[in-house]
Structure formats: structure tokens, C-alpha cells
Amino acid sequence: MKMIACTEGRSDRVEAFSLEMINAARSIAAAGDEVVAFFAGQAAKAAASSFGAADRLIAADAAGSDLIPAEAYARLLRDTIAAEQPDLVLVPYSANGLDVAADIAARTGWPLLSYVNEIKRDGESLNVVAQMYGGKVLAECVVKLPAVLMVNPGAFEEAMPGPVDAAKVQQFDAMPAIESSRVKMVAIDVPDYADVDLTTAERIVCVGRGIGDEASIDIARDLATILGAEIAGSRPVVDNGWLPKLRQVGKSGQKVKPKLYLALGVSGAPEHLEGMSHADLIIAVNTDPKAPIFNVAHYGATCDLFDLVASLSDRLQASPGR
Ligand SMILES: Cc1cc2nc3c(=O)[nH]c(=O)nc-3n(C[C@H](O)[C@H](O)[C@H](O)COP(=O)(O)OP(=O)(O)OC[C@H]3O[C@@H](n4cnc5c(N)ncnc54)[C@H](O)[C@@H]3O)c2cc1C
């Protein structure tokens, strides 16, 4: 079986979820199978020095531009699929991947399964566990190959980074596809980290919509201060203007990996998990025992966050240093 693991990166860095796509393919590869990493973007050199867990790398080098629209990425991937004839294409659930996976499935006629968390091999088919309803329901599916799977970042461990054998790197110019693309990506707005950089925080207290209103964030902020943690929020909290955008965790926010992640009133939608599921220790507080955040939490409390935060803050203040 031949598998293409789609990867991404910008400037001189590859996205961590790229290594997860390679590992997802590796996890179902049997002897004699081949895992081919596909990359399109400016970070082709970084891809060649990171994706050694794949058997080969096909890199479409957008040397002059970080602005690669999904339309161009999909076209480059389609050409690669036509040349390689893979049995399986793994695409990350990313802004780019959302467009690319649909394009590939529509044009090849292959089935597409989205929000994939688990993949097991069964002869010519795959048994796949995919999320539905923001992760509240898990669907067990059997899909015949060839197929396209859009895999949730955070669902698989990252493969060990390392260089790809130079003889196994096939590089070509992505610029013609970018220049002829009907969609032009004009700019990428990178956040200014002068205020806070959650990506380097060791402890994070994250509030979700369960916090109720802006004023109530103060009780979580006080707990964060006691814990020496940064305060963060899920997207609805940020969309409501209760916390600044730089403090949003998730797909369209920051990807964090603190030693402690305390999630208060966060449901654990896939887009949120993408930003925090690799934290060393996740503690979740939610009144709903079926909240998907408990699927990734190491410890969980099914209770009202206000009760827990109040008594935890009191206990910590009563015995500092514990
Ligand atoms: C393309 C795209 C990108 C996205 N990017 C992001 C992103 O970067 N980050 C992000 O977070 N989301 C993102 N989302 C949104 C995501 O799908 C969810 O809607 C969002 O994460 C839900 O936020 P939440 O958990 O705070 O709210 P909800 O899903 O409303 O959950 C609130 C939770 O609080 C619990 N609760 C309520 N009251 C209490 C209480 N008193 N005590 C304890 N628990 C309580 C409830 O049981 C519930 O589980 C994105 C969505 C899309 C489509």
C-alpha cells in the first residue's frame, strides 16, 4: 500500500501536525508499504530536514512566496496523486486541508472521511473512528481504499523529526501553480506576541463559554495568578470580546503545550483540542460528563466550575507552596 501524508509549513518552519500525518500513515504501514510525505510551500528545506520518518518526500518548493492558496496546493497534490497512484491520502484538518481534501475527493471520486481520530487497517479496507457533532459522537466507519482521510491534529503523536535521505527527496517548482491560481493569497497576518506568548507558557487556565460572562473571568484570572499561570480562552470567549485574540487556544488561535492546562467550562470541540491536546497535564472541569474535553483530560471534575474554582483558590491561598 502507498500512502501520501500531506504536510504544511510556513517561512522556515513545518507545522507540527505534519509530523502527526506522517505518523498516522506510519501507524498502519505494513512491511513493503510506502509512506510518501507531500509538502508544498516555502519551507521545503525544513520539510527535507524534518520528515525523515517518511520513506520519501515530494516537495513543491514555493521558494519565493509563503502565500500558497489551497487551490494551488490542491493542484500540486493532484499532479502528485496522478503520478504516484496512492491507495490512501491523509490530509490534516487545517484551513488549507479543509479545501484540499474536498477538492481531491471530488476530483478523484474517492470517499472522504473527515474529523478522523483513529485508523486501523483491515485487509483492503480501513476501520476509522471519526468525530461528529463537535466530538460528542464518535462514528465507527469502514472505508474501502483508495480514500482520502482528513485527520484531526492532535489525534496522533508526532513522528520523530529527522532528515530525509537526500536521494529520497524529489523537489519541483510550485510557483507556476501559485502564479496561475485564480485565488491570490495577499497577506498573512501574524499576531504580535508583545503582550503574551501562550506557546511558551508553562501553566494555562483556559475559560470556555461555561464561564458565562466577561465579569466572571476574574475568578479564573485570580486562580491563574495564584497558580502562576496565563489566562486563555476558547474561541467563543474571544469572539465575545472577553479576552484578546492572542489568548485564544485552538485551530484559529494558539497551539500550546504547557505543563498544566486547566480547562474551565470548555466543551472540547476538535478545533479547541487541536491547540492543546499535547499539554503534559490536562485537568478539565465541566458539568456535562459527556463533554469531549474529558476524552483528552488526565483528570476531570464533573461539577460547576464556580464551586471548584472558589474552593481551589481558597485551599491554595490557605497553604501557599502546595
Ligand atoms: C474553522 C474553525 C476554527 C475554530 N477555531 C477555534 C479555536 O481556535 N479555538 C476554539 O476554542 N474553538 C474554535 N472553533 C470553535 C469550536 O468549534 C467550538 O465552537 C468552541 O471551541 C466551543 O467553545 P467552548 O467549549 O468554550 O463552548 P461550548 O461548546 O458552548 O462549551 C461550553 C461548555 O461549558 C460547560 N459548562 C457550562 N456551564 C458550566 C459551569 N458552570 N461549570 C462547568 N462547566 C460548564 C458546558 O457543559 C459546555 O461543555 C473553531 C471552529 C471552526 C469551524
Could you say which of 179, 214, 243 is where a domain stops?
179
Cα 252 to Cα 265: distance, rounded to the nearest angstrom = 19
Question: 144 and 69 share a domain?
Answer: yes
- Whether residues 14 and 147 share a domain: the answer is yes
Residues 27 and 170 in one domain: yes
Judge if 155 and 273 occupy the same domain: no
Residue 164 inside a domain? The answer is yes
Dist CA 19 CA 7 (whole Å):
8
Position 133 confidence tier, pLDDT thresholds 50, 70, 90: confident
Q: Is 244 strand, coil or helix? A: coil
pLDDT, tens digit (0-9, with 9 covering 90-100), for 8-39: 998 888 998 999 999 999 999 999 999 999 99
- DSSP per-residue codes, 257-299: --SEEEEES----HHHHHHHTT-SEEEEE-S-TT-THHHH-SE
- 259: domain CATH number is 3.40.50.1220
| Beta carbons of 310 and 287 less than 8 angstroms apart | no
Question: What are the start-end ranges of the E strands in the chain?
Answer: 2-7, 9-10, 13-14, 34-41, 56-61, 88-92, 112-122, 125-132, 137-144, 147-151, 169-173, 203-207, 230-233, 260-264, 281-285, 299-301
CATH number of the domain to which 171 belongs: 3.40.50.620
Q: Is pLDDT at 137 greater than 90 in this prediction?
A: no
pLDDT at 232: 98
Q: Is residue 187 part of a domain?
A: no
Answer yes or no: do 97 and 227 share one domain.
no
Is 62 among the domain residues?
Answer: yes
**Could you tell me the residue range of the domain that residue 222 belongs to?**
198-318
Tens of pLDDT, residue by residue over 207-265, are 999 999 999 999 999 999 999 999 999 999 999 999 999 999 998 899 899 999 999 99
> Averaged over 300-318, what is the pLDDT?
95
pLDDT at 312: 95
- Residues at the binding site for FAD are 209, 234-235, 248-252, 265-272, 286
The tally of CA atoms less than 13 A away on the side-chain side of residue 61 is 14
| Separation of CA 209 and ligand 1 centre (Å) | 6
* 118 shares a domain with 72: yes
Please check whether residues 10 and 101 belong to one and the same domain: yes
Co-location of 27 and 145 in the same domain: yes
- Please indicate, yes or no, if residue 189 is contained in any of the structural domains: no
- Whether 188 is covered by a domain: the verdict is no
Assigned domain for 96 exists: yes
Q: Are residues 171 and 206 in the same domain?
A: no
Indicate if 21 and 54 belong to the same structural domain.
Answer: yes
What's the gap between Cα 51 and its chain centre? 17
Is pLDDT of 182 > 70?
yes
Give the model confidence (pLDDT) of 75-119 as tens digits.
Answer: 999 999 999 999 999 999 999 999 999 999 999 999 999 999 999
Regarding whether 223 and 157 lie in a shared domain, the answer is no
257-301, pLDDT tens digit by residue?
A: 999 999 999 999 989 998 999 999 999 999 999 999 999 999 999
Distances (CA, A) of 88 to 16, 35, 253: 21, 10, 30
Q: Are residues 120 and 232 in the same domain?
A: no
Ligand 1 contact, 286 CB (< 6 A): yes
| Number of structural domains in the chain | 2
Q: Which of 179, 212, 236 is the last residue of a domain?
A: 179
Tell me the mean pLDDT in the region 29-55.
96
Q: Which residues share a beta bridge with 40? A: 60
Q: Is the CB of 302 under 6 A from ligand 1?
A: no
Give the chain's end-to-end CA distance (angstroms, integer).
53
Please identify, among 120, 150, 179, the residue that sits at the C-terminal boundary of a domain: 179
Site of grid cell 471519526: 130
Is 103 inside a domain boundary?
yes
Binding residues: 209, 234-235, 248-252, 265-272, 286
For residue 321, the model assigns a pLDDT of 63
Q: Which grid coordinates belong to 77? A: 497534490
pLDDT computed for residue 322 by the predictor: 58
Closest residue CA from atom 37 of ligand 1: 210
